[in-house]
Amino acid sequence: MALDFPASPNINDTYTFGGVTWTWDGTTWKVLGRFQFTSSETDPVFTASPANNILQQNITNWNTAYGWGDHATAGYLTSTGSISSHSDVTIATLQDGQLLKYSVANARWENWTPTYLTSYTETDPVFTASAAGGITGTNIANWNTAYNWGDHSVAGYLTAEADTLATVTGRGATTTTDITTTGKIYYSNNFADLTALNAVNPTTYHGMFAHVHAEGHGYFAHAGAWTQLLDTGSALSDLADVSATTPNTNDVLTWNGSNWAPAAPTGGGGGASVTISDTAPVASAGDLWWESDTGRLKIYYQDTDSSQWVDTSPPLQAPNSPLYIGMVQLWNFGSNITWHGGGGASNSLTATIRPADGGGGFQNAYVRLTFPTSFVSAEEYAVQITVTDPSTDGHIYAPSIRKHLDRIDFYVYNLTSSVVATDWYASIAVYPL
């Protein structure tokens, strides 16, 4: 009986027939023996060896190569050396970019600097302007990958949305995620009245804006409450610090310590009128009148029992009438000073003894008279000082004076004894210019 070995066996495949077992070594079937022993034993040393991977085909190939003979005795070229070592090559003074060029006349290869175009960067404006000009290798790789995914047109994907926003929100209109849009959102957040608005928890919807139709106002949720927004229809009393008390005609807002509340005005104010005329107009308290023929500004003033026009400008000074008049007394050997005012504004002058300044100032102690109001310039006034000594008839003193905006400084010099006097009277008069 003929043996029916398996077709296309793999190396180490076995075939048993009639008690004889054959194994395939890659080339032939070889008999292992009539008795077969099954064992799970492995040889770790042989498995770790490179010989474990040697096949019969490898051995066959190696034997074939051995049959080719000893290549070491064939006389093959084993080294080429440099190109200039060849007998038909001449190299002289090499430069970067040179080539070898054959010379028929010399029958040799020689180094040569090319004179033809060695490089060129071509640009195609048509291709550059094309969309294809921007295609990269990555694009092509991605497109090929997408192509390998298959034809999506036959995959049965959703290609049109049949739902409306209403049907979507009907399945659930609440979300905790942010909604971002660069377009416009049109909505009507309208509540019929405050009862409907207060049914919405302002804490849950902190920052929400709403319109209450019955009130005609906007509201926003803040600090656990619905707060009304001010608009052109809001009343002044809608402000938190303004009292809702109904005001009377001509009332003004007055701060009462905790709120602005309406109250009757207590003096002239923003409602006052201004009249320019030669004659006094009919007026109310706080009105202003410019008396054009005299150049005086007056205010209509109401005291406890009468009303009258009161001059708001400083009193006009009569010609050659001094602003300040009085007398200075220096006594107790120059250690005490007294101002004897002539009454009125002159009483507001103050007289003091000043120590010597030295340098560019007074070399001796001097007297300073200080004005209650500073002049704009020292040229706006003139001072007259008349010095007398009641104890000595005909004893004459001369003052040295320095003018300032808010004061005059001076001392009195004794012309008879050539010293600074320490006991004297001086009459003072200050005139406006």
pLDDT at 87: 82
Domain boundaries, the chain: 14-67, 88-118, 274-311, 324-432
3-state secondary structure at position 139: helix
pLDDT tens digit sequence for 45-70: 888 888 888 889 988 999 998 988 88
CA distance 161 to 262: 63
For residue 57, give the amino acid letter. Q
Mean per-residue pLDDT, 225-239: 85
**Average of pLDDT values for 120-132?**
84
The helix (run of H) or strand (run of E) holding residue 47 is helix 44-48
Q: Note the Cα 62 to chain centre separation in Å.
A: 81
State the average pLDDT over residues 122-137: 86
Token code pair at residue 151: 């034809």
pLDDT tens digit sequence for 359-380: 778 888 999 999 888 888 888 8
Strand pairing category for 225-228 and 217-222: antiparallel
Question: pLDDT tens across 3-35, in order?
Answer: 777 888 888 888 887 778 888 888 888 887 555
With b for 16 or more beta-carbon neighbours within 10 A and e for fewer, the 28-45 pattern comes to: ebeeeeeeeeeeeeeeee
Band of residue 129 on the pLDDT scale cut at 50, 70, 90: confident
Phi and psi dihedrals of 273, rounded to 5?
A: -100, 155
Better-predicted residue by pLDDT, 423 or 159 = 423
Q: Would you place residue 343 in the very low, low, confident or very high pLDDT band (cuts 50, 70, 90)?
A: very low
The verdict on pTM exceeding 0.95 is no
Q: Please say whether the beta carbons of 112 and 101 come within 8 A.
A: yes
The whole-angstrom separation of Cα 158 and Cα 152 is 11
Longest dimension (CA), the chain: 184
